[in-house]
Amino acid sequence: MHILFVLEHYFPYIGGAEKLFKSLTESMVKEGFEVTVLTTKHDSIILSNEVIGGVNVVRLPFNNRFLFTFFSFPFLIKFVKKCDIVHTTSYNAAVPAFFAGKFCKKPVYITFHEVWSGLWFNLPFYSFVHKIGYYLFEKMILKLPFDKYIAVSEYTKKCLLESGIKESKIEQIYNAIDYELIAQYQEQKTPKKHVFSYYGRLGASKGLDILLGALLELKEEKVNFTCQLIIPQYPRSVYYEIIDIISKYEIIKHIEIYHELSEKELYHRIQDSSFVVIPSYSEGFCFVAAECSALQIPVVSSGKGALRETVSGKYIEMLDLTIKDLKAALEKGISGEWCYKENRIFPMTEMIQSYLKVYS
């Protein structure tokens, strides 16, 4: 069987969706499938065509995901004709993948990470016009009759049902963690008491605006702390806005910023932390929460979206999604006032078997 993945981003792009699809595609190759990924060429220095972990990765000449949405259709056709299943994801890749699949009479599956609906209007870093556009774009994708919808959490499944998707078309499959990989990087060390970390992509939903506001209040109350921000430098517009806020708040002395760390460096850094903060407006799954649980690193969480499914071990949950409540949660984390929930695991074998069942 030949599976064609149509994705707006793929490794080495950083993000939870990219982590999911790298592990899924390479696992499907090990299961004997032929796998091709069609994606954007988000950086001019990366190759247009290469094999990664047995996966044939083809990067089309679009460095912008919206150009990919509207102009990739003719490029997709020749690849779709040769495959048995088209598998895409929300949001930007969904439209060309759907129409190319239907044009060639191939089944099209979509993995939905999140459904934001009205949340779009509460997010920072977007203009009102952008918020309306994204809201309507999401509504349009939810109207396309995909053959199968894969929800990465119970929360996402609930959102799909509320959006009018038939339950018979939805499969709920949790993302998975490579516990063997994480075990290689696990260190027996004493974390630095007043150091905590944020790591992940620069999404508008990630709550960085709330985090920086809380750091300002901690600084003004002369709390001793250092926050490690482990973030990419893209999207550039969001990155520069984050840097501007840090400068405006004059909190640079309390922040260490890291970019493009290797896996080994990333896990070393976060194990220096006494805890990791996840102040997201919403999460469809949250690899950060699951990884921290595996590494036995406590988490300060907003509790939004699927975080109540994926946060386990030592944790503190914000009472509300405000700067005031995040500041209070961070102070509890610094002083070690943790709640506890039995560790939850998300095995790779379970995820792969579930996808194999869907594909069969």
Q: Do 272 and 283 belong together in one domain?
A: yes
* 110: containing domain: 2-176+348-359
Q: What is the pLDDT of residue 15?
A: 83
Structure tokens at 29: 């190759």
Q: Do 104 and 252 belong together in one domain?
A: no
Q: Do 112 and 196 belong together in one domain?
A: no
The predicted-structure confidence for 7-53, as pLDDT tens digits, reads as follows 999 998 888 899 999 999 999 999 999 999 999 998 888 999 999 99
Q: What is the pLDDT of residue 97?
A: 98
Per DSSP, the residues of 147-204 read: SEEEESSHHHHHHHHHTT--GGGEEE----B-HHHHHHH----PPEEEEEEEES---G
Count of structural domains, the chain? 2
Q: What is the pLDDT of residue 129?
A: 96
Q: Do 184 and 246 belong together in one domain?
A: yes
- For the stretch 225-239, what's the b/e string if a residue is b when 16 or more beta carbons lie within 10 angstroms of its beta carbon? bebbbbbbebbeebb
Q: Do 126 and 263 belong together in one domain?
A: no
Q: Do 155 and 266 belong together in one domain?
A: no
Cβ(334)–Cβ(193) below 8 Å: yes
CA distance 246 to 211: 11
Q: What is the pLDDT of residue 156?
A: 98
Q: Do 8 and 124 belong together in one domain?
A: yes
Q: What is the pLDDT of residue 189?
A: 78
- Per DSSP, what are the bridge partners of residue 339? 315
Q: Do 25 and 154 belong together in one domain?
A: yes
Question: What's 194's domain CATH number?
Answer: 3.40.50.2000
Q: Do 167 and 216 belong together in one domain?
A: no
Distance of CA 338 to the CA centre of its chain: 25
Q: Do 42 and 147 belong together in one domain?
A: yes
Three-state secondary structure call for residue 133: helix
Residue 117's nearest CA partner among 162, 82, 77 is: 162
Q: Do 152 and 190 belong together in one domain?
A: no
**pTM exceeds 0.85 for this model:** yes
Positions of the chain with pLDDT under 50: none
Q: Do 131 and 26 belong together in one domain?
A: yes
Q: What is the pLDDT of residue 199?
A: 96
CA dihedral over 289, 276, 298, 210, signed as positive or negative: negative
